Structure 1
Amino acid sequence: MKLQVRAFVFLGLLTLVACSNNEYEKAMSNGMKSIGEKDYYMASTYFELALFEKKGDEQASLYLNQAYYMERALQAYEKKDFDAALQSLQKVVSSKSGLQTVQMEAEKLIDHIHSENDVTSLFEEKMTEVKNMIDNETYNDAKNKLETLQRELEANDSLSDYESELRVLTEQVKIGIQKKQAKVVDETKEVAAPKKGPSIKSDSNSRNITYQTYTNSRFGFSIQYPSHLMMAPPPTNGDGAIFFNEELEITVYGSHQTCVNGDTIEECYEEELTSIPVNVTYKKQSNNWYVLSYIENGFIVYKKSFFGQSVSNSFIIKYPANLKEKFDPVVTHISKTFVSSAY
């Protein structure tokens, strides 16, 4: 498409100068003016026109070569393709008898790319440290590290591509801290409780599972969950809750963000499908909700999301794949009784 546009521009300029004198000088002058404005696209077009007027001209050919590769370098840099940008910039710098001002601009951009690479590489190393902390369940250390990384991201535009990954890590740390807090509370209750003989675990295989209803006051949705599950300490922003035991985990939450970047529900559905690293075993999409289910690391994950004009609600159920028969009825009950506010 860019080449077609350049062809039209070139033909247009050729038409304009065909009836005037000193076509070569004017094209070279306009090319130099575009270089001064750092408009390398127009500069290469003018130098190409000058070369058309004086075929084989060494100066026009040199300047055209510089402007062309400078333009390609800038396009690659905008796409974060630093390797391609550096290759084009090196051709600009190594051009003998070329324009020194363009070479200087190329050298400045080379230094900037190397500096940006150093920043992103260091940032990635720090994110790897956070992931290791999460694996080792040192969540408070991970939380402190993430707060530092968030400040770095906000202060440096070149790190903006890491925003979504940082958000995912922050959510993992938050859930990890909540689970640890709930475990401490549960252990405290066990120690304080009077001994009445061996405890009896509730049988989740039974058809007589009892359910409790959780209603979220901030977003107005409600969900029924097995009453024998523990509830993790709720987040301070009140957006949802987590219910769990050693086998089953239910996460439910609301948001004022209906679809990312104003996408339609179809686009959100396709985007989430693409983000799942394993085969999706079940999927379904309606006009205001969609369901996705898949098996990852030995666990079945079932997610259902509802979208309204101003809010969205979602719940995620996770349980071992070898306990599918045990928990499939629970998934069915929750899905049928979930009351969404996103309508």
Structure 2
Amino acid sequence: MRLLLVLIGVFCLPLAAIAAEWTPYANARFGFAVEIPPGFALVREADNGDGQSYANGEARLAVWGHTLAEGDFKEDVAERRATYAREGWYLSYDRQTAGWASLSGTRGTSILYHRAIALCEGAAASFVLEYPDTMKAEISPLVGRLVKSLRPAQGCTNAQGAAPAAQ
């Protein structure tokens, strides 16, 4: 019985610790929030307040908001899709609704995941996660929670849910 309790502690406590290490990030300028995964350290904050970038070894995570050029989320995502094609990315996953888009693919040994959501007042928020395929087992499980955590501020219903008020 004692061995069973030790094994439960060894395997369950690290999972609880990992879950607790997600760090909330709220962007006041564009009104969105996202949770930053454990192991990702802040590298740079944009001078204009539109987002932040993080790193975990060779993995890079960029989170930002921006004003839509024509106020058209669909067109903005189409432009990003075209940019990825010009940069040599092969998009193997490409889904879009009126309120969100997810693009994922590869270029050489690199993996890319881009999630974008429409915000209120002609804006959008995105995160881009880029990492080497050698980190796939470590990074891929984080994508689902990242996707679910990217939300507009309360009162903006253009995307899949409302985030806590930006701080």
- With normalisation by structure 1, the TM-score equals 0.36
Report Cα offsets for 1:6-44 as digits up to 9, x if no partner. xxxxxxxxxxxxxxxxxxxxxxxxxxxxxxxxxxxxxxx
Q: Which runs of 4+ in 1 moved over 4 A?
A: none
Aligned position for 2:83: 275
Report Cα offsets for 1:298-334 as digits up to 9, x if no partner. 2111111112332211111111113222211111111
Counterpart AA for 2:130: K
Output aligned runs, 1:304-323, within 5 Å. 304-308=115-119, 309-323=121-135
**Identical residues among aligned pairs (%):** 24
- With normalisation by structure 2, the TM-score equals 0.71
Output aligned runs, 1:1-343, within 5 Å. 207-208=15-16, 209=18, 210-255=21-66, 257-258=67-68, 260=69, 262=70, 264-276=72-84, 277-308=88-119, 309-341=121-153, 343=158
Q: In 1, are the aligned partners of 2:104 and 2:112 still within 8 Å (CA)?
A: yes
Unpaired runs of 5+ residues, structure 2, are 1-13, 159-167
Q: Secondary structure at the match of 2:95?
A: strand
Q: How many residues align?
A: 135
CA distance in 1, matches of 2:29, 2:72: 24
CA distance in 2, matches of 1:268, 1:254: 12
Counterpart AA for 1:267: E
CA apart distance, 1:249: 1.5
CA distance in 2, matches of 1:310, 1:275: 21
- Name which structure has the greater RCO, CA cutoff 8 Å, separation 6+: 2
Counterpart AA for 1:333: R
CA apart distance, 1:267: 3.0
CA distance in 1, matches of 2:103, 2:143: 13
CA apart distance, 1:263: 6.6
Distance 1:279 1:229, change over 3 A: closer
Counterpart AA for 1:241: Q
CA distance in 2, matches of 1:296, 1:247: 15
Distance 1:223 1:320, change over 3 A: same
Distance 1:285 1:219, change over 3 A: same
Distance 1:241 1:324, change over 3 A: same
Q: Secondary structure at the match of 1:233?
A: strand
Counterpart AA for 1:312: A
CA distance in 1, matches of 2:71, 2:50: 22
Report Cα offsets for 1:142-178 as digits up to 9, x if no partner. xxxxxxxxxxxxxxxxxxxxxxxxxxxxxxxxxxxxx
Unpaired runs of 5+ residues, structure 1, are 1-205
CA distance in 2, matches of 1:224, 1:270: 26
Distance 1:311 1:295, change over 3 A: same
Higher fraction of helix: 1
Aligned position for 2:7: none
Counterpart AA for 2:44: P
Superposition RMSD in Å = 2.1
